[in-house]
Structure 1
């Protein structure tokens, strides 16, 4: 039985919906049918539809495989590439959290 999905903020839902729409538009610009992309990715047409709607239930791996089929996998390199906040915290000398030792 699947676990209960985590609640999402409206801004997060919009980001995923916009990403799904961009995937759909990229597929259409290439002239690929949904059936063809789903087959090449190895997922059902319904799962592709969910991905194109920006469903948080679709795994990151599926999104990556869709990008590969659309020849957009290079876009993954841009994700979290420029960690400005992390660099500022590092520069300020904020100590990193220490993990508790296991028993």
Structure 2
């Protein structure tokens, strides 16, 4: 049974998964690798590769990453949610930063006690 989160995937994310699946298929074919061979190398069954290439949201991230690694196209995965590339997160964080730096209370208290 499909989880509620998978059932309610927004259309733009469904399209993105279909594109990722098609890209994986193209990478596999370019390398002359069969679905069966890719499945063996990624330690899954052929059905999982077929689901992945169709853009199924039910394929796990670990399996996806292992498949990308087998194909040699996993280098960007580690930066997928990188804080350095998160413009919205950076803007929100910048709004919350204090105008000046101050010592944490505990450290300040410890320093005061040390001076006595």
TM over 0.5: yes
- Secondary structure in 1 aligned to 2:65? helix
- Secondary structure in 1 aligned to 2:75? helix
Larger Rg: 2
Return the match for 1:85 from 88, 109, 115. Answer: 88
Q: Which residue of 2 aligns with 1:4?
A: 3
Q: 1:3 Cα shift? A: 5.7
* Unaligned residue ranges in structure 1 (runs of 5+): 95-103
Residue 13 (1) aligns with residue 14 (2): yes
Deviation sequence 1:54-85 (CA, Å, 0-9, x none):
11100000000101110112121231220110
Task: Measure the CA separation in 1 of the matches of 2:4 and 2:67.
Answer: 22
Question: How many residues in Structure 1 have an aligned counterpart in Structure 2?
Answer: 93
* Unaligned residue ranges in structure 2 (runs of 5+): 98-116
Task: Measure the CA separation in 2 of the matches of 1:39 and 1:55.
Answer: 19
Q: Which has the higher contact order (CA 8 A, sep 6+)?
A: 1
Task: Measure the CA separation in 2 of the matches of 1:12 and 1:37.
Answer: 25
Q: Cα RMSD between the aligned structures?
A: 1.4
Q: Which residue of 2 aligns with 1:69?
A: 70
Preserved contact between residue 5 and residue 57 of structure 1 (Cα < 8 Å): no
